[in-house]
A and B are shown apart, each in its own frame.
Chain A
Amino acid sequence: MENVRVVVVDDSPLSVSVISGILEDNGFQVVGSAGCLEEVKEVIAETRPNLVTMDMTMPGTDGLECTRAVHEIDRDIRVIVISSMMDEEIVSQAKRNRVSGYLQKPVDDEDLIAVVKRVMQAEELFGVLNSEFFDVFKDALRDGQNKLTKTLITYEEEYLCESEYTADGIAVMIGIIGEFPGKMLISLSNATAHVLTATVLRREPKNSEEIIETMAEFANIVAGNACSSLNKRNRAYGLRVAPPSVLSGENMKITPLNYPTYTAIGESVFGKILLNIGFKRGELDAWT
């Protein structure tokens, strides 16, 4: 929890002073404050904090508009609302605007620090997951194929996938839940899926359904092993996989949605296998 940089947004100098005092007494660095939308935009762009505490009612704006302005500058900045107003409707609106925690004024020192720590610990854990998951999934695909077919896979190309890509043949989607939700996609051509299935089954597949079944199970093994391996490294991930869904067709456009995913293109004796995987920050971290 070192070097957490915070901006305090509140139109009342007294509140700014109280909240800043609590944070600084507990080792957090308050790098700025703002009391209206324009100041929020300016201070956030200038200081790029890790965390923002946000008042709900301010002259000419509100905490939700200011939260959206913060996230337009940087989606990864965490926002905790500290407001005298707190009812079901406003909390639900805050959740929809990607607020990570909500506290009611007058704020208690211990409550504020507990919520800040919970939000920032999740942030740290996400950073660790992000640094290790891609290699773990690549290893799981390589090991899975090796165990099932006694063949090797080498990764020719790896990249951060920020734009749409096209898949022809078969794409298996496996949803992942846990501390951070995510998904894994494996896509391959019909020809590659056919030979891979024949090798796994040690006979010609009877029909396309059997190929789809085999690819679903193959992807399930890869995702399951990768998630187990990540959970062994850190139990706090708590990752579990949803059953596979298989899409088949030509010219299927696959779009990454608002968060980065990573792609590795594996070259095997059966043909190319595309692995795409990504996790998203939990957005509703610390609700009191």
Chain B
Amino acid sequence: MDVKHVTPFIVGFNTVIPPLGFKRIDKGQLQVKKRNFTGSGIIIIVGMVGQLKGNVVYVIGAEAAKKIASVMMNGKPVEALDDMAKSALGELANMLAAHAATAFSAMKMLIKISTPACFEGNDITVTMSASKVFGVQMLVDDMPIDVNISLEN
């Protein structure tokens, strides 16, 4: 996996996030991570297959997840991460990954995405398929979404 393969995921954020009603997107430092890492809150995985294959894992802490779901649900207060809130977050991950795939196609790389799988819990260890994982934290109106990408040829 090449570091240039991270860019489409950032393009995904820049395309999807503003129309949803968020005002600011900040990109954190790019990290090279081990293939296993621990996350708490909401963890959403999307499989990717095509000229590259692998997975993208979005990790959102519980508090940030509630606020993001609330914005996505037209400002409706979200007190708990119920099915409705998780559906909104699943749809967000789906759109982010779909737009990343579109950005890959602009780089002449065809990639299709699976449906997302949504997990909630504390201290969940995620083991990704490739030995190298790129991680980048995106701040959406100061709410962090960790994006972990593992793709291989």
Contact = CB atoms under 8 A, between A and B. Distances in A.
A255 B118 contact: yes
Contacts of B112: 177-178, 181
Contacts of B120: 252-253, 255
B129 A243 contact: yes
Contact of A242 (B55, B118, B126): B55
Given A242-B53, A242-B114, A245-B45, A251 B127 contact: no
SS class, residues of chain A in contact with chain B: strand
Contacts of A280: 115
A156 to B, nearest CB: 23
A152 interface: no
Interface in B43-100: 43, 45-50, 53-55, 57, 83, 86-87, 90-91, 95
A244 B129 contact: yes
B24 to A, nearest CB: 22
B7 interface: no
Interface stretch (A26-34, A116-124, A137-145, A167-175): A167-175
Contacts of A171: 119
A175 B47 contact: yes
Contact of B119 (A181, A216, A243, A253): A253
A274 to B, nearest CB: 13
Interface of A: 96, 163-164, 171, 173-178, 181-183, 185, 209, 212, 216, 240-255, 257-259, 278-280
Given A247-B43, A254-B117, 11 more contacts: A171-B119, A175-B55, A176-B47, A177-B50, A177-B112, A181-B112, A242-B47, A242-B55, A245-B57, A249-B123, A258-B87
